[in-house]
């Protein structure tokens, strides 16, 4: 059996110290025997210690990763394991990791590492709300939704079995991109921010594609849900029915609705309404299209119904939203009105 699968069960105290079941003695031993739950403080990694200025992207390659107490971050983190092995730990759980594993950690997710052996990994750190990345068609990649949203949410339930596990060939493909990202961030030549963002986008695209190529049984439910989200992102203006979405995901309507609520906090239909309103808000603030034209382009045949849905999501009418953002009339529209 793979040594990574034979690690003894462990648990994590509220203070972030690890306890490992002692099968011979029948008790538990602390990784740090001098620590107590009362004195242990959960560390939070600060953005200022890891990023250059205000740029919302950074990278840190760690060779022979030492054991690391459970902690949180002020940022998100894309972890790519290059070599070696270890145990990735979270409160009440632990999972073996090895070369080719990749997973996303969002700021408040507590985690750490123990039982590391020649563990080399790269942490790509980012602040999601500040990354000026073009969305383009990334939402059409089901693996993108799985990697950044679904797997982190279902990690405990799936016991980390639905994480991305790259083949050696896939890992070799992405390593040069990681190297380029590190060079841009480390040397900071002219245009380094632009190039670093481009490298990060290439890494994200490759990992998203790799996820959908895996045939691991534990990953398949998230793959199906990712396909539904991608379909909704592409076809929300066509208002697909719940039956259609369930068919795309190869699951029942009830299962699809339950998984959507667990993952996104809304039903599939509510999710599509939000997508339409988000697109409407974007069009209101970046185009001169009339409110009725925007409503029609998003599948609304009734302007009043569009306004009611817009208000229910944003708290404002479309006209108020456009006025607040200063896009009631662009210069081009003003010229046409004269």
Q: Same CATH topology for 38-214 and 225-330?
A: no
Query: Which tens digits make up the pLDDT trace of 244-263?
Result: 999 999 999 999 999 999 98
Average the pLDDT over 17-35 and give the result.
36
What backbone phi and psi angles, to 5 degrees, belong to 122?
Answer: -120, 130
> Taking residues 287-299, what's their average pLDDT?
94
Per-residue pLDDT averaged across 169-193, rounded? Answer: 97
Residue 292 pLDDT exceeds 90: yes
Start-to-end CA distance of the chain, whole Å, equals 78
Mean pLDDT across the chain: 84
User: Could you report the per-residue pLDDT of 143-176, keeping only the tens digit for each?
Assistant: 999 999 999 999 988 889 999 999 999 999 999 9
Mean local confidence (pLDDT), 295-304:
93
**Higher local confidence (pLDDT), 76 or 335:** 76
Confidence at residue 156, expressed as pLDDT on a 0 to 100 scale: 87
From the CB of residue 312, how many other CB atoms can be counted at a distance below 10 Å?
Answer: 10
pLDDT of residue 92: 85
The half-sphere exposure of 276 on its side-chain side, counting CA atoms within 13 A, is: 27
pLDDT at position 54 is 95
Q: Assign 40 a pLDDT band (cuts: 50, 70, 90).
A: low
- Which superfamily is assigned to 225-330 in CATH? Homeodomain-like (1.10.10.60)
Kindly report the backbone phi and psi dihedral angles of residue 325, in degrees, each rounded to the nearest multiple of 5, phi listed first. Answer: -85, 0
CB 127 within 8 A of CB 33: no
pLDDT grade for 197, boundaries at 50, 70 and 90: very high
Give the pLDDT confidence score for residue 135 in this predicted structure. 72
Question: What are the structural domain ranges in the chain?
Answer: 38-214, 225-330
pLDDT at 127 over 80: yes
This prediction has a pTM of 0.78
Residue 312: its H or E element:
helix 303-314
pLDDT at residue number 325: 63
- The stretch 187-192 carries a mean pLDDT of 97
Q: Hey, what CATH topology would domain 38-214 get?
A: Jelly Rolls (2.60.120)
Q: In a 10 Å sphere around its CB, with 0-12 CB exposed, 13-18 middle and 19+ buried, how is residue 57 labelled?
A: buried
């Amino acid at each position: 059996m793979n040594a990574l699968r034979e690690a003894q069960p462990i648990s994590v105290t509220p203070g972030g110290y690890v306890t490992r079941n002692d099968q011979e003695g029948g008790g538990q031993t602390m990784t740090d025997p001098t620590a107590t739950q009362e004195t242990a403080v959960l560390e939070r990694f600060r953005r200022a210690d890891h990023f250059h200025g205000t740029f919302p992207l950074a990278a840190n390659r760690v060779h022979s990763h030492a054991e690391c107490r459970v902690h949180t971050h002020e940022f998100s983190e894309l972890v790519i394991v290059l070599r070696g092995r270890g145990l990735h730990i979270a409160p009440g759980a632990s999972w073996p990791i090895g070369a080719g594993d990749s997973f996303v950690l969002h700021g408040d997710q507590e985690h750490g590492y123990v039982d590391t052996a020649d563990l080399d990994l790269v942490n790509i750190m980012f602040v999601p709300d500040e990354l000026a990345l073009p969305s383009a068609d990334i939402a059409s990649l089901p693996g993108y939704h799985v990697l950044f949203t679904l797997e982190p949410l279902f990690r405990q339930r799936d016991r980390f079995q639905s994480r991305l596990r790259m083949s050696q060939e896939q890992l070799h493909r992405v390593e040069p991109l990681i190297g380029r990202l590190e060079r841009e961030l480390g040397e900071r030549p002219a245009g380094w921010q632009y190039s670093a963002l481009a490298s990060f986008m290439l890494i994200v695209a490759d990992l998203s594609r790799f996820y959908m190529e895996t045939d691991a049984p534990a990953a398949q439910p998230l793959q199906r849900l990712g396909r539904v989200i991608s379909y909704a992102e592409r076809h929300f203006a066509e208002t697909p029915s719940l039956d259609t979405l369930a068919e795309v995901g190869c699951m029942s309507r009830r299962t699809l609705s339950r998984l959507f609520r667990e993952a996104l906090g809304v039903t599939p239909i509510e999710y599509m309404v939000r997508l339409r309103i988000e697109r409407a808000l974007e069009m209101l603030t970046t185009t001169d299209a009339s409110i009725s034209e925007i409503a029609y382009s998003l599948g609304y045949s009734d302007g009043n119904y569009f306004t009611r849905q817009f208000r229910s999501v944003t708290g404002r009418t479309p006209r108020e939203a456009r006025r607040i953002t200063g896009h009631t009339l662009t210069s081009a529209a003003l010229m046409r009105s004269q």
